[in-house]
Amino acid sequence: MKEKEKKEMEKKEKEKEKEKKEKEEKEKEKEKEKEEKEKKEKEKKEKKEKEKKRRKRRRRRRKKEKEEEKEEKEKKEKEKEEKEKEKKEKEKEKEEKEKEKKEKKKKEKEKKEKKEKKEKEKKKNEKKVKEKKEKKEKEKEEKEKEKKEKEKKEKKEKEKKEEKEKEKEKKEKEKEKEEKEKEKKEKEKEKKEKEKEKEKEKKEKENKEKEKKEKEKEKEKEEKEKEKEKKKDKKEKEKEKEKEKEKKEKEKEKEKKEKKEKEKEEKEKEKENTKEYKGHSNSNRPTGPYEAA
């Protein structure tokens, strides 16, 4: 009887040990699955973060390029305006000097005429004094003189007129020249603007093309990454299936083993009971109805 109890205890101990091992195995399996899952999540997160940073850098670079381009354009415009301003200032200065020169010339001329007039008056007065003495001769001379003076005046007036005409013509020519120069500059400016616009359009087109290519490249990369991830997931699933299958096989094997153990124990128990029963029947046979039962 003690032997039987001992075996029962051992059997229970074995079962406890077995259950403990199974529990540990399951715990390890769960831990492993958890680690796998965390690893996948971490990789996914890192990948996403990397992509985000890369896009951010690209946006920052594009923004910087546009700002530099804008600054360059503004700088050129400013330089151009400064040159135009400087040129206008020089032209204004030139006109002022020309005006000053003319004013000076006019004043000198007036001074000279005044002086001449004064001289003339003086001579006239002297002439009048002389006329009293020699009127007849003087009249003749006066007439001659008047004639000469008239001719001289006419000549002077003519010269003055011619001078004015020349000055006028010169101014008109200068004006015409300035107009032509202005027109030429306007044309050049227009031409430069058109070329600039053309260059800008070309650059924009190139940038769009570049951006398109980058997007295509990015798309292709993403597709590849997706495909890679898909394959990886498939592989992982297959691996999981294999593990599950293996686990089931092990459980099956374990159940089979347990069943065998149980059968063996049952047989041993039966055998033990049979031995016990035989021992009782040989030494103490039942005498009453209760013992027989």
pLDDT tens-digit map of 246-281: 989 999 999 999 999 999 888 888 888 887 666 655
Predicted pLDDT at 280? 57
The yes-or-no verdict on residue 39 having pLDDT over 60 is yes
Residue 95 has, within 13 A of its CA and on its CB side, a CA count of 10
The yes-or-no verdict on residue 85 having pLDDT over 60 is yes
| Opening angle at CA 249, ends 232 and 30, nearest 5 | 55
| Opening angle at CA 174, ends 169 and 178, nearest 5 | 145
pLDDT band at 198 (very low <50, low <70, confident <90, very high): very high
Predicted pLDDT at 163? 92
Backbone phi and psi for residue 288, each to the nearest 5 degrees, phi listed first: -115, 175
- Range scoring the smallest mean pLDDT among 120-134, 156-170, 227-241: 120-134
Q: Is the pTM of this model over 0.85?
A: no
pLDDT band at 166 (very low <50, low <70, confident <90, very high): very high
Predicted pLDDT at 8? 84
